[in-house]
Chains A and B, each alone.
Chain A
Amino acid sequence: MNAFFQFIARHRLFASILFLMIFPFFMPYEALAINILIFGLFAMGFNLLFGYMGLLSFGHAAFLGIGSYLTGISIVHYSLPWGTAILIGVIGAAIGGLIMGFLAIRTRGIYFSMVTLALGQIVYYIFYKAESFTGGENGLRGVKVETFSILGIPVDFLNPLTKYYIILFFVSIALWLISRILNSPLGAVMEAIRENEKRAAACGFDVTKTKLLVFVLSAAICGLAGSLRALHLSIVPIDSLHYLQSGQAVMMSILGGMGTFFGPFIGAAVMLYLEDIVTTFTKHWMAVIGLVFMLFVLFFPKGIWGTILSKLHINQDV
């Protein structure tokens, strides 16, 4: 067992992608697997900022939403090809991250969280009011991608399993990027800043610039999750931008294990799977998830994945 974990510790990217390849076969239906895949990516992008650099943003729904809406608008209003639409979504989220980060990183602690929350709400209202583009409270409908061809081979995007693997392709690219970031000099500086900002600055690292760069990277990854969500749902609901989505990213990260590579994905999987099961019995699924969340915070503060890793004495970067 330990050898198995040692193996995934050494090859976290390979192991994660392998796991995600077989993941849909453990799920009751594919749409849930896709949803988990997308929110897992969202939580992992968020965790880059939260778990690895210690900045608790409450505005990350903005990037999920910007990615979703820009991809949706590109397809619905401008009939752009889906690949271009994804790219626009990601770049849009990165620019959003640059602006929000620029305004927010001057503040610390709770003030940082409050500023990101407020800025996230501003983004919500901008998209809410721009009804002719976004469909307002009805959401943006008609993000249709049905069939397309990859290298001349026609692909049926309506087949849920096919859809899962196409989305997994993009998620894998993002996981590769996250894994590279964590191994890089910047990754080391991020953790140094989380551990001790004063020392990091005294060591010659520009704390403000590093925070901004990581904020933008995190926003871009969350933007990709949003773009993929638009393609998956064929609609962009206004709740993509709701602050509850920001809160979900926080909960998923903590539940799975903040500051671990794959923990936030596990958190997303557990939360969404629980939601799926509990909603068949009662509509008060939030109460159940809240209870589970509280138990973990109280007794396993490192989260599900973080606790497993620390019990096995494996470093937290898996």
Chain B
Amino acid sequence: MRNMNQTPILEARNVSKSFGKFKALNDVSTRFMPGTITAIIGPNGAGKSTFFNILSGAFPPSSGQILFNGKDITGIPQHEFARIGISKSFQITNVFKQLSVHENVRVAAQMETSRYNFLSNTKNYQKPIELADELLRRVNLERLRNKITGDLAHGQQRALEIAMALACNPSLLLLDEPTAGMSPEETMVMMDLIHTLASERTVILVEHKMKLIMGLCKRIIVLHHGEFLAEGTPEEIQNNAEVRRVYLGQG
């Protein structure tokens, strides 16, 4: 039951994106309500990643608008997204590999306190240090706190990236294929984590594996050839003839 009078936390209005002559995304409009967890799915080349990148601020759309809590945020720079409360994890793990696990999250957490101060000692900022420890506990990495990040297993690095994304206390969390390249065990742990995170904030995730999201999300958006194809509950999507034709039929 969605209250249509409520302001969506994120809204895409007629969003298109072209790379040269190639139209990656064509006139996609959709709304994400606060407190929901939504999955964006679609076969390869459907424009999922392009859509994700636009929603998370990696690049602006060629045309159309992005609204956050009703405010137009189209074209604001990437770093502003974290400041207004939109955070993300990338499809390809992006962490600070030569830094310690704790330092990765601590840097992410210092965004609110200080960015350009070059004379005081980071040790004097207790809040980011404590927040980093708390987040590492949440993603079960506290015992690897002082390890060099590059030495961590793939799944652990992905969990770390989620901790980093949480460090700015986002109201909206965007996850691009959070279980990509993970073992089945790691995938289970990650899905559990996402499930708990979704109880505290709005989550949008792009996912390739249909089965994973069926139990997790209340709402699914399907893209195909850069266009909006369908949206609905997992059951509706599973029973949608067109979706079955382009997507499920392949599997």
Q: Mark B83-103, 1 if CB is under 8 A from A, else 0.
A: 100011010001111110001
Q: Assuming the A-B contacts A198-B90, A198-B94, A203-B167, are A183 and B121 also in contact, with contact meaning beta carbons closer than 8 angstroms in the complex?
A: yes
Q: Does B113 count as interface, using CB distance less than 8 angstroms?
A: yes
Contact partner of A207 among B79, B87, B97, CB < 8 A?
B79
Who on chain B is nearest to A186 by CB? B118
Q: Does B81 count as interface, using CB distance less than 8 angstroms?
A: yes
Which B residues are CB-close (under 8 A) to A181? 118-119
In angstroms, Cα B118 to Cα A192, docked, is: 15
- Interface residue count on the A side (C-beta < 8 Å): 27
Q: Mark B115-148, 1 if CB is under 8 A from A, else 0.
A: 1111111110100000000000000000000000
Point out which of A180, A185, A196, A209 has the most chain B C-beta atoms below 10 A from its C-beta: A185
CB atoms of B81 and A185 under 8 A apart: no
Q: Assuming the A-B contacts A205-B115, A207-B79, are A187 and B122 also in contact, with contact meaning beta carbons closer than 8 angstroms in the complex?
A: yes
Which A residues are CB-close (under 8 A) to B168? 203-204
Q: Assuming the A-B contacts A195-B97, A199-B94, are A206 and B115 also in contact, with contact meaning beta carbons closer than 8 angstroms in the complex?
A: yes
Q: Does B189 count as interface, using CB distance less than 8 angstroms?
A: no
Who on chain B is nearest to A206 by CB? B79
Q: Does A107 count as interface, using CB distance less than 8 angstroms?
A: no
Q: Assuming the A-B contacts A185-B117, A186-B115, A199-B95, are A204 and B122 also in contact, with contact meaning beta carbons closer than 8 angstroms in the complex?
A: no
CB atoms of B78 and A185 under 8 A apart: no
CB atoms of B106 and A188 under 8 A apart: yes
CB atoms of A202 and B95 under 8 A apart: no
CB atoms of A184 and B82 under 8 A apart: no
CB atoms of A191 and B116 under 8 A apart: no
Q: Assuming the A-B contacts A185-B125, A195-B98, A196-B96, are A201 and B79 also in contact, with contact meaning beta carbons closer than 8 angstroms in the complex?
A: yes
Q: Mark A206-217, 1 if CB is under 8 A from B, else 0.
A: 110110010001
CB atoms of B79 and A195 under 8 A apart: no
Contact partner of B83 among A184, A195, A204, A209, CB < 8 A?
A204
Task: Kindly identify, within residues 199 to 214 of chain B, every residue whose CB is under 8 Å from any CB belonging to chain A.
Answer: none
CB atoms of A205 and B79 under 8 A apart: yes
In angstroms, Cα B64 to Cα A285, docked, is: 63
CB atoms of B79 and A188 under 8 A apart: no
CB atoms of B122 and A184 under 8 A apart: yes
Q: Does B156 count as interface, using CB distance less than 8 angstroms?
A: no
Q: Does A189 count as interface, using CB distance less than 8 angstroms?
A: yes
Q: How large is the interface on B (under 10, 10 to 19, 20 to 34, 35 or more residues)?
A: 35 or more
CB atoms of B118 and A187 under 8 A apart: yes
Which A residues are CB-close (under 8 A) to B81? 202, 204
CB atoms of B119 and A180 under 8 A apart: yes
Point out which of B58, B79, B97, B113 has the most chain A C-beta atoms below 10 A from its C-beta: B79
Nearest-CB distance from B81 to chain A (Å)?
Answer: 7
In angstroms, Cα B123 to Cα A280, docked, is: 50
Point out which of B81, B96, B103, B125 has the most chain A C-beta atoms below 10 A from its C-beta: B96
In angstroms, Cα B138 to Cα A102, docked, is: 41
Which A residues are CB-close (under 8 A) to B118? 180-181, 184-187, 213, 217
Q: Does B239 count as interface, using CB distance less than 8 angstroms?
A: no
Q: Assuming the A-B contacts A185-B110, A188-B107, A204-B82, are A199 and B164 also in contact, with contact meaning beta carbons closer than 8 angstroms in the complex?
A: yes
Q: Mark A161-195, 1 if CB is under 8 A from B, else 0.
A: 00000000000000000001101111111011001
Point out which of B77, B83, B108 has the most chain A C-beta atoms below 10 A from its C-beta: B108
In angstroms, Cα B121 to Cα A210, docked, is: 17
Which A residues are CB-close (under 8 A) to B167? 203
CB atoms of B121 and A203 under 8 A apart: no
Q: Does B165 count as interface, using CB distance less than 8 angstroms?
A: yes
Q: Mark A69-82, 1 if CB is under 8 A from B, else 0.
A: 00000000000000
Nearest-CB distance from A182 to chain B (Å)?
Answer: 9
Chain B residues in contact with chain A, CB under 8 A? 56, 58, 77-83, 87-88, 90, 94-99, 103, 106-108, 110-111, 113-123, 125, 161, 164-165, 167-168
Q: Which 7 A-B pairs have the closest CB atoms?
A: A204-B82, A195-B96, A204-B111, A186-B118, A199-B94, A185-B114, A201-B78
A/B interface sample: 6 pairs, CB < 8 A: A185-B120, A185-B122, A186-B116, A199-B95, A199-B161, A205-B79
Chain A residues in contact with chain B, CB under 8 A? 180-181, 183-189, 191-192, 195-196, 198-207, 209-210, 213, 217
Q: Besides the contacts A199-B95, A199-B96, what 14 more A-B pairs have beta carbons closer than 8 Å?
A: A185-B113, A185-B125, A192-B96, A192-B99, A196-B97, A198-B58, A200-B107, A201-B77, A201-B79, A202-B79, A203-B167, A204-B81, A210-B116, A217-B118
